[in-house]
Amino acid sequence: MCIKTRFSHMKTLLLFSTLFVLTQCTKVRTCYDAKLEREMRGQMCTMDCPGVIGCDGKSYCNTCEMNKAGIPRTK
């Protein structure tokens, strides 16, 4: 295998690796609710921070902040 061909394969591998990483870095929220996020847009939330867990498994300061992110409460 000549150097030019090897370099071409490396460029292709790098391109596909970069595309894979970029697509994996997007927010993947299986329980994300765009309607809830729109409804909560502009709402003011209190500063209390008891901590709640959203349906995405992440921790949020309170239910209001969680809902503003478009994440409903776990059932």
Report if residue 75 sits inside a domain. no
Report if residue 24 sits inside a domain. yes
| pLDDT at 39 exceeding the cut of 90 | yes
Q: How many domains does the chain have?
A: 1
Domain span at residue 20?
A: 3-68
| pLDDT at 8 exceeding the cut of 90 | no
User: What is the Cα–Cα distance from 54 to 35, expressed in whole angstroms?
Assistant: 16
State how far the alpha carbon of 66 is from the alpha carbons of 31, 35, 38, 61, 75, in Å. Answer: 12, 13, 13, 7, 14
Q: What is the pLDDT of residues 40-73, one digit of tens each?
A: 999 999 999 999 999 988 999 999 999 999 999 8
Token pair, residue 34, equals 């765009």
Report if residue 74 sits inside a domain. no
| Global pTM value | 0.58
Q: What is the pLDDT of residues 10-36, one digit of tens each?
A: 777 666 666 665 555 545 547 999 999
Helix, strand, coil percentages for the chain (3-state, nearest 5): 45, 10, 45
Report if residue 31 sits inside a domain. yes
Q: Which amino acid would we find at residue 10? A: M
